[in-house]
Amino acid sequence: MTKAAAVASSKDGEATQQQLLIYLALASAEMFTAGISDEVMATWTKTLKLAESLHDVASQLICYLPLWGRKIRTACMMTRSTARRGAPKRRRRRPIQVRPLWPSGCWAITKHHLGRLAEARVHLQRSLDIDTEKARLAQVNAVWL
């Protein structure tokens, strides 16, 4: 496909719509066969640059989704590893009277992006269950006062 994309460029080396379509297909195929690796993201980045050079907004939006997903997934993985490192320290502290809302919600997002939907649902429900006026006020006071 890479050879096909090179052949599809115009005679003066300018990007063409046909070349963009080939790169979109290539990036999608790589992503679904090789996962979200650095090489696949490089292909998506090149595809985005082609779409930008052709002023193809629809293709740009298609390219942004996997690029955004990779950034979100990387951030969630970092959040998860940081939370696990901090978990033993938190257990040693005295219990908090009102639990903050965000940890369970963050875990729900992290689990969702990792594909663990059943676990994500449990964390999301827990976050919704403790979302009370008293809990919100405690969070505001903890941050602003």
Q: Are residues 59 and 112 in the same domain?
A: no
What pLDDT is recorded for position 101? Answer: 47
pTM: 0.51
Q: Are residues 106 and 39 in the same domain?
A: no
Q: Which of 20, 38, 72 is the last residue of a domain?
A: 72
CA dist list (Å): 100 to 13, 20, 79, 113, 134: 56, 47, 17, 22, 10
Q: Is residue 55 part of a domain?
A: yes
Q: Are residues 63 and 31 in the same domain?
A: yes
What pLDDT is recorded for position 95? Answer: 45
Number of domains present in the structure of the chain:
2
Q: Are residues 1 and 66 in the same domain?
A: yes
What pLDDT is recorded for position 56? Answer: 93
Q: Is residue 79 part of a domain?
A: no
Q: Is residue 81 part of a domain?
A: no
Q: What is the mean pLDDT of residues 23-51?
A: 91
Q: Which domain holds residue 136?
A: 94-145
Which H or E run contains 119? helix 117-129
